[in-house]
Amino acid sequence: MKKLLLSIAVVISGLFIQACTDHTQPFPEPESFTSQAFVSGLKAPIGMAIDDNGNMWVTEAGTGNGNDGSVSMITPSGTKTLYVTGLKSITQEGSAEGIGHLVFHNGKLYFLHGSNGMLYTADVASFKSGDAPVDLAQIPVQDIGTFVKTKKLTDPLNSNTWDLTFGPDGHLYIVDSGANAIVKRHGVTGDLSLFAHFPDVASGVEAVPTGIVYDGTKFLVSTLTGFPFAKDNAKIFQVDTWGNVDIYKSKFTTLTGITLSANNKPIVIHHGAFGQMGFEAKSGKVLDENGKTLLGNISRPTDIIRADNNTYYLMSYQDGTIIKLSY
């Protein structure tokens, strides 16, 4: 009997030790990043996405004067091919604006033009490096901004369709940073509906959502906040599949993008510290969900994406570069 009791005790002890050492995260979270150059010479880059062949698609706002906003494809070796140009580029408070972010899904590229409120859906399955650019007029387009303004979410009315992601059932979810909202686009019919609206992050300070990801159960959304971009006002919101909004993490500042780690933990980018002369030089950062700095000394980052378990790409609007991050 003593031997039986001893054996049971050993088994229970072993199970307890195993439970205590059983990590639910299959991959280590990044503690810091190292970086190396990937692409330079971009004109006010805004967003990027990776297709099934490892090609990167990027949006560039252009010069802020004319119609030189564009979308390009960059091969894994860094060769860039212009896919389409002719998108309106405007200047707002000294910065080039117009085109927004993009997402690749089932051979198609979905990209936004924020100032015009348009969603473009381009079939890029057969496009190859070195091909001639396509005609913008041939790409199917849908007006999102007008729909948003009918909801009268801000006074005065405002819309800036900025980022997007696919969620459950193949529906597309579009962040409108001007209206502080998420619009749901039905995956089959293309019908639009208001999915969620974000509350002010402080008294009289709008949320200004900037990035959205879906982790399999909920959406996570980064926020820039409205002027004067006060320290610690920005939040990461979580939104369930019914559109209910809650705070996920607080005490961030000027977040302009979000991605997920291999363990579905949010990693965000801090655009920079805002001073009397605008955003301070090299004050941008990559942060984990608790605000820990994973990489600093960045010039106004606008997007971050994960390529594999421990490889990410980071875009700098000011420097016109994409760098590769690893840990």
259-279 confidence digits (pLDDT tens): 999 999 999 999 999 988 889
Mean pLDDT of 86-105: 96
Spatial neighbors of 313 by CB under 8 A, at least 6 apart, are 38, 48, 56, 304, 305, 307, 322, 323, 324, 325
250-261 confidence digits (pLDDT tens): 999 999 999 999
179-234 confidence digits (pLDDT tens): 999 999 999 999 999 999 999 999 999 999 999 999 999 999 999 999 999 999 99
Q: How confident is the model at residue 24 (pLDDT cuts 50, 70, 90)?
A: low
Amino acid occupying residue 100: G
pLDDT above 50: residue 4: no
**Cα 160 to Cα 162: distance, rounded to the nearest angstrom:** 6
Note the pLDDT of residue 310.
Answer: 96
The two three-digit tokens of residue 273, written as one number: 């510290």
Q: Helix (H, G, I), strand (E, B), or coil: what is residue 65? A: coil
Pairs from 305-312 (Cβ < 8 Å, separation ≥ 24): 305/48, 305/49, 305/50, 305/259, 306/259, 306/260, 306/261, 306/262, 306/267, 307/50, 307/54, 309/27, 309/262, 310/27, 310/30, 310/262, 312/33, 312/259, 312/267
Note the pLDDT of residue 276.
Answer: 84
Note the pLDDT of residue 267.
Answer: 98
67-81 confidence digits (pLDDT tens): 999 999 999 999 999
Note the pLDDT of residue 94.
Answer: 87
- How far does the chain reach from its first CA to its final CA, in angstroms? 53
Task: Calculate what percentage of the chain has a pLDDT beyond 90.
Answer: 89
Q: Helix (H, G, I), strand (E, B), or coil: what is residue 120? A: strand
Note the pLDDT of residue 129.
Answer: 98
10-23 confidence digits (pLDDT tens): 333 443 334 443 44
Mean pLDDT of 291-305: 98
Kindly state the greatest CA–CA separation across the chain.
88
**Cα 225 to Cα 245: distance, rounded to the nearest angstrom:** 16
Using CA atoms, how far residue 220 sits from 146, 165, 237, in Å, is 25, 11, 6
pLDDT above 60: residue 5: no
Q: What's the mean per-residue pLDDT of the chain?
A: 93
Question: Which residue in this structure is represented by tokens 């959304």?
Answer: 221
Mean pLDDT of 310-323: 98
Lowest mean pLDDT among 21-35, 126-140, 283-297: 21-35
Lowest mean pLDDT among 17-26, 142-151, 236-245, 275-284: 17-26
Could you tell me which residue, 24 or 11, shows the higher pLDDT? 24
Note the pLDDT of residue 13.
Answer: 42
User: Which DSSP symbol is given to 52?
Assistant: T
In the beta sheet, which residues pair with residue 56? 50, 74
**Cα 255 to Cα 224: distance, rounded to the nearest angstrom:** 5
Could you tell me which residue, 275 or 4, shows the higher pLDDT? 275
